[in-house]
A and B are shown apart, each in its own frame.
Chain A
Amino acid sequence: MQKKLPLQCPSCQSNLKVKKLHCSSCGTEVDGLFDFPLLVSFSQEEQEFILNFVKTSGSLKEMAKIMDLSYPSVRNYVDDIIGKIKQLEKNKKQ
């Protein structure tokens, strides 16, 4: 079973931060307070889409073929992701 990375606090719904990082090879641990990268805020499906989009050099037509969707459906999906990125960046600044 693939574990889902929790992004929000189950108690107060605030955004979580990374406190500890662990090297599984030598056991070194790094303690601090780090923000999650922006990409992590997207769903699994959206992350896969973003990766495939980069792999196809940003071709909407190629993505339409891969996803078996029409060109405007894919373009609207990209527009939704752009909107989400802008919103996340805005939230981060606040």
Chain B
Amino acid sequence: MGSDTQRSLFRPFDRISEFRALGVGLSAMLLCGALNCLCHVRFDGAVDVHLSPEPVSAVCLLAEGFIGWLVFAALLFMSGKIFSSSSIRFIDVLGNLALSRWPLIFVSLAALVIPHQEVTRYLMGKYVPELPHATLSAPGMAQFIAFALLTIIILTSTVWMIILMYRGFSLACNLKGTKGMLVFGITLLVAEVISKYLISVLAGSWE
């Protein structure tokens, strides 16, 4: 892989920032929201990716994605203000974090072509039978293999997104090394809890 390609994939923030990063990131989020309506995938948290056995409304899908992004961006900015000696700006954190979410497009595209609902229902029936839509009828081997492939794509894209998020935060807040990783990791945990709480509280208003 060429160094320019590598840079574009893993260090896009060296060249893209502010409103350009925000524009690209928002476009990716809107595209994912539209695709997720068709493929039943939810990005319901700071870094969450979940498969849903049933269709979810477009409003819900978009709102979940935006809450996860905004809560994490706001908390990273606050952490940066506390721990960084640089004069950091919210637009840099917001834009970089939006741009970091673009690998999720691969999840939406993969879920669109790989059927997963039956395996999802079966796994729910096996491990959490009390959930609605859970079933105990096992799908065929081909569906399990397809599901495994989808899982690999989800894991790879999520790890890629988290790497981008860290690099985007590190650049926007000028926090590197152990200090940067610790601040990012702890903030991610807090953002996960707060975004999950907000999504659960607001769920009634869009469902």
Asked if A70 is an interface residue, CB under 8 A from chain B, the answer is: yes
Contact: B13 with A75, CB < 8 Å? no
Residue interface bits A18-49, CB-to-B below 8 A is 1, else 0: 00000000000000000000000000000000
Contact: B86 with A79, CB < 8 Å? yes
Contact: A72 with B15, CB < 8 Å? no
Contact: B17 with A72, CB < 8 Å? yes
Asked if B49 is an interface residue, CB under 8 A from chain A, the answer is: no
Interface residues of A (CB under 8 A from B): 68-73, 75-76, 79
Q: Which of A68, A69, A72: most chain B Cβ within 10 A?
A: A72
B residues near A69, Cβ cutoff 8 Å: 14-15
- Name 22 interchain pairs, CB-CB below 8 A, sorted by A: A68-B15, A69-B14, A69-B15, A70-B15, A70-B17, A70-B18, A71-B17, A71-B18, A72-B89, A72-B92, A72-B171, A72-B172, A72-B174, A73-B13, A73-B14, A73-B17, A75-B86, A75-B87, A75-B174, A76-B171, A76-B174, A79-B174
CB distance from B81 to the nearest CB of A (A): 14
Interface residues of B (CB under 8 A from A): 13-18, 21, 85-89, 92, 96, 171-172, 174
Closest to B88 in A: A72
Measured in the bound complex, the distance between the Cα atoms of B21 and A72 in whole Å is: 12
Measured in the bound complex, the distance between the Cα atoms of B99 and A70 in whole Å is: 13
Measured in the bound complex, the distance between the Cα atoms of B92 and A72 in whole Å is: 7
A residues near B16, Cβ cutoff 8 Å: 70
Measured in the bound complex, the distance between the Cα atoms of B84 and A79 in whole Å is: 11
Contact: A71 with B13, CB < 8 Å? no
CB distance from B13 to the nearest CB of A (A): 6
CB distance from A91 to the nearest CB of B (A): 20
Given A70-B17, A71-B92, A72-B17, 20 more A-B residue pairs with CB atoms under 8 Å apart are: A68-B15, A69-B14, A70-B13, A70-B15, A70-B18, A70-B21, A71-B17, A71-B18, A72-B13, A72-B88, A72-B92, A72-B96, A72-B174, A73-B13, A73-B14, A73-B17, A76-B171, A76-B174, A79-B85, A79-B174
Measured in the bound complex, the distance between the Cα atoms of B95 and A73 in whole Å is: 14
Measured in the bound complex, the distance between the Cα atoms of B69 and A29 in whole Å is: 66
B residues near A70, Cβ cutoff 8 Å: 13-18, 21, 171
Measured in the bound complex, the distance between the Cα atoms of B14 and A76 in whole Å is: 11
Closest to A73 in B: B14
Measured in the bound complex, the distance between the Cα atoms of B21 and A76 in whole Å is: 18
* A-B interface, 5 closest residue pairs, ranked by CB to CB distance from nearest: A70-B17, A76-B174, A72-B92, A72-B171, A72-B172
Measured in the bound complex, the distance between the Cα atoms of B86 and A76 in whole Å is: 8
Measured in the bound complex, the distance between the Cα atoms of B16 and A20 in whole Å is: 49
Closest to B17 in A: A70
CB distance from B29 to the nearest CB of A (A): 20
